[in-house]
């Protein structure tokens, strides 16, 4: 896993990411491929492809994420059909019915992270089963917040599908790494390395 650390400003730094970004910005920075502070649907698509997602899931993610978040991260600006997401304002797109691990300023809240496992990790204190994960998602639902319900379900479902271990568990370290974005970097490196091995064996 890529190295990471938390400083006094709640900014987690890991390889290749601006240490001045808040944690929520780091979470999405991987998808800002050209590092210009804006994420377009094509970058979201290529980011998901880089971490091992198929064409269908990557296309769905690009549409779902960019259409859903673009306007919220561009307050006061005229809507754009290019659906750009401004990384610096990503905290403005924070949806409801979530775990609360990110606060309203995009900062990491350790107590909320630990709460995920103290409340929902019944079979293993350092991982979640599929049922436990869905139980957490349901427990966080705010009444009538249907958009938040959908966003939370999709996010966690995709994470589980991509990152569950051979026993069908989603490890605590993996969940921790997804919050600061270091997981995406690691997954991309592993996929690229596997691709090189496959090509060299032909």
Q: Is residue 14 part of a domain?
A: no
Contact 19, 31 (CB under 8 A): no
Q: Is residue 15 part of a domain?
A: no
Number of domains in the chain: 1
Q: Is residue 8 part of a domain?
A: no
CA distances from 46 to 53, 155, 174 (A): 9, 17, 21
Q: Is residue 36 part of a domain?
A: yes
Q: Is residue 121 part of a domain?
A: yes
Give the pLDDT of the chain (202 residues) as one tens digit per residue. Answer: 344 444 434 543 344 445 568 899 999 999 999 999 999 999 999 999 999 999 999 999 999 999 999 999 999 999 999 999 999 999 999 999 999 999 999 999 999 999 999 999 999 999 999 999 999 999 999 999 999 999 999 999 999 999 999 999 999 999 999 998 899 999 999 989 887 766 655 5
> How far is 162 from 145, CA to CA, in rounded Å?
26
- Both tokens of 127, joined, read 């991982």
Q: Is residue 2 part of a domain?
A: no
Angle of helix 146-163 relative to helix 182-200, nearest 10 degrees, comes to 40
Domain region containing 167: 20-196
Q: Is residue 1 part of a domain?
A: no
> How far is 176 from 1, CA to CA, in rounded Å?
11
């Amino acid at each position: 896993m890529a190295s990471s650390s938390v400083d006094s400003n709640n900014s987690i730094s890991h390889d290749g990411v601006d240490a001045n970004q808040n944690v929520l910005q780091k979470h999405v920075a991987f998808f800002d491929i050209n590092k210009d502070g804006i994420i377009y649907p094509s970058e979201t698509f290529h980011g998901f492809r880089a971490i091992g997602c198929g064409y269908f899931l990557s296309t769905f993610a690009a549409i779902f994420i960019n259409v859903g978040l673009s306007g919220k991260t561009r307050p006061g600006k005229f809507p754009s059909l290019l659906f750009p997401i401004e990384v610096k304002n990503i905290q403005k797109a924070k949806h409801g019915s979530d775990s609360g691990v990110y606060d309203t300023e995009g900062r990491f809240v350790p107590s909320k992270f630990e709460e995920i496992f103290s409340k929902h990790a019944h079979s293993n204190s350092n991982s979640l089963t599929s049922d436990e994960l869905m139980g957490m998602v349901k427990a966080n639902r705010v009444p009538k917040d249907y958009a938040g319900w959908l966003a939370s379900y999709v996010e966690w479902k995709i994470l589980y599908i991509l990152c569950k271990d051979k026993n069908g568990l989603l490890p605590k370290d993996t969940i921790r790494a997804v919050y600061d974005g270091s997981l995406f970097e690691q997954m991309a490196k592993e996929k690229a390395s596997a691709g090189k091995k496959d090509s060299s064996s032909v």
